[in-house]
A and B are shown apart, each in its own frame.
Chain A
Amino acid sequence: MRRLNPSLVAGGVIVGVIALMALLSFVWTPYDATLVNPSGRLAMPSWEHWFGTDKFGRDVFSQIMVGSRTTLFVGVVAVGVAAVIGVPLGVLAAMTPRWPSELIMRTNDLMLAFPALLLAIMFGAVFGASTLTAMVAIGIASVPSFARVIRSGALQVMRTEYVLAARAAGRKPFPIAARHVLPNVTSLITVQASVSFAIAVLAEAALSFLGYGTPPPTPSWGRMLQESQEFLFSAPRLAVFPGIAIAVAVLGFNLLGDGLRDRFDPKLEDRR
């Protein structure tokens, strides 16, 4: 029996709970997350409202639940965009001769140097603030790190004797990429996806906080944080709950990424 590593378990549990919460929110929330109730504004946490209510009397717990959908949705699409562009670029950079490879990687470095949040704000300014622009912008900003990691993994695979053997059998470069390189970098892709997910969650919160992310009334953790600003001294709990939600989600995906990395580390292979 293989030893379970603590990061993997903790990360898995946190991510699992968030995913369950998001799924549950489709069928049940304590209150309608967007229901305005003027008579019950800024209520303290109680049995009726577990996390209290905000300035419009909306139930904070329900909003956190529905907000997790936005967070996961943005994460999935952003990581998807990053992987779909970044993985082929990385493999291509590893398999092409020197000059095309250098061109891809130096362009990549250029993008890596460009601040991700600035890119997202530019996108928001040009295409209008929406969840979609936020997702795509975060995704594009995550492409370079994907391409780097996958390139280094693919380079290692290209040096193996089984790739040499495949060439000696007459395999062409594209089938080699599909049949040998990609299957052998899947563990790297998984790890990188998890780490990028954490970054995407944080970026979405930051964008919504700045007003470039999810527009109202769709609940989003980042915007909840922003709306809580004016009550920071009178009702700090309004900032605390979404803040904790964001921090826990980021922690969860980072732990999961770390755990997966340890799990797939070839140096620990004999432990499996």
Chain B
Amino acid sequence: MPESPTPAAAVQVIDVVRDYPRPRTSLLRPAPVVHALRGVSLEVKQGERFGIVGESGCGKSTLLRLIAALDRPTSGQILVEGNEITDLPERRLRFLRENLQLVFQDPMSSLDPRMRVRDIIAEPLVVQGHPASRERVLELLDAVGLSSDAGDRYPHQFSGGQRQRISIARALAPRPRILIADEPVSALDVSVRAQVLNLISDLVDELNLTLIFVSHDLSVVKHVCDRVAVMNAGQIVETGPTGDVYAAPQHPYTQRLVSAIPTLERALSGATTADLLAKGETA
């Protein structure tokens, strides 16, 4: 096992590959394989806000699941706070379950429709054997800007933005040090996106969390993150401070992504989608 160069790194991913076998199409030939991740390496420092951008299907969500040990890599290593989690059995992942929490994309399917909000938020506490007091749940509801009577209701009684707040409250319940957000605003109405983004941003500051934020939308990542990795087809093509990547993209794929962001000047100069694509291609 190689010595980790910076023991302080919150998350370290070293040359991770994840292949998914597809159902066999022929008795004679071996089952085809989907390469979801083809040798990904990255390092997220303590307290950093790290963004991962890329189009749908590029492997972002797979990478997150591997970091959260909800799935296992085909090869490679993943270290969380210096502890290798790649081959640990579930029963030895307690430190990870306490210190790393997730907020998912779809607030419709990430909250159990049969549970009261109070029980949803308290679930990580109950599971991990912490006292799941009523006060702690109220405190969390208050932290995400929901009223104290929300705990008695069911998820379907809330709007998308409110549900995402519930997800965030639940994720923060066991006082994690690392928060992973998987496209937390892409399923929300544009009008509430900014509110939820600001809430995440404020809480990360306030609680001194390490944030890993995944999105297909570069402008959202720019709003929240210090550093960004751009993913394409299962590989990281570019990493750097968000401002630099945004201002001077190096990789052709990043250049296309950046040039596809609608801006006021481009709209005023009468540029069309075709122009944007052409520009990305030649740049």
Contact = CB atoms under 8 A, between A and B. Distances in A.
Given A170-B94, A170-B127, A165 B102 contact: yes
A161 B129 CA distance: 22
Interface in B106-147: 106, 109-115, 123-124, 127-128
A110 interface: no
- The DSSP consensus for interface residues of chain A is helix
Nearest to A186: B114
A120 B174 CA distance: 54
A165 B105 contact: no
Nearest to A157: B112
Interface residues of B, number: 28
Nearest to B105: A161
Contacts of A179: 112, 115
A166 B106 CA distance: 15
A184 B174 CA distance: 25
Contact of A160 (B102, B109, B128): B109
A168 B127 contact: no
B104 interface: yes
A170 B110 contact: no
B19 interface: no
A263 to B, nearest CB: 15
Contacts of B68: 168
B101 A168 contact: yes
A156 to B, nearest CB: 10
A157 to B, nearest CB: 9
A175 B109 CA distance: 19
A183 B114 contact: yes
B124 A161 contact: no
B123 A161 contact: no
A184 B112 contact: yes
A183 B112 CA distance: 9
Nearest to B173: A169
Given A160-B109, A161-B109, A162-B111, A169 B97 contact: yes
B283 to A, nearest CB: 37
Contacts of A160: 109-110
Contacts of A3: none
Nearest to A166: B123
Indicate the member of B93, B98, B105, B109 with the most A CB atoms within 10 Å.
Answer: B109
Contact of B90 (A162, A166, A172, A175): A172
B1 interface: no
Contact of B128 (A162, A169, A184): A169
B102 A170 contact: no
A162 B117 CA distance: 13
B27 interface: no
B72 interface: no
B216 interface: no
A184 B111 CA distance: 12
B248 interface: no
Interface in A162-178: 162, 164-172, 175
B110 A165 contact: yes
B170 interface: yes
Contacts of B111: 162
30 contacts: A160-B109, A160-B110, A161-B106, A162-B110, A162-B111, A162-B112, A164-B65, A164-B102, A164-B110, A165-B167, A166-B112, A166-B127, A168-B68, A168-B70, A168-B97, A168-B101, A169-B101, A169-B124, A169-B170, A169-B174, A170-B93, A170-B94, A170-B98, A170-B124, A179-B112, A179-B115, A180-B112, A184-B112, A184-B113, A184-B114
6 pairs of A and B residues whose beta carbons are closest in the complex: A170-B97, A169-B124, A161-B110, A183-B114, A161-B104, A162-B112
Interface of B: 65, 68, 70, 90, 93-94, 97-98, 100-102, 104-106, 109-115, 123-124, 127-128, 167, 170, 174
Interface of A: 160-162, 164-172, 175, 179-180, 183-184
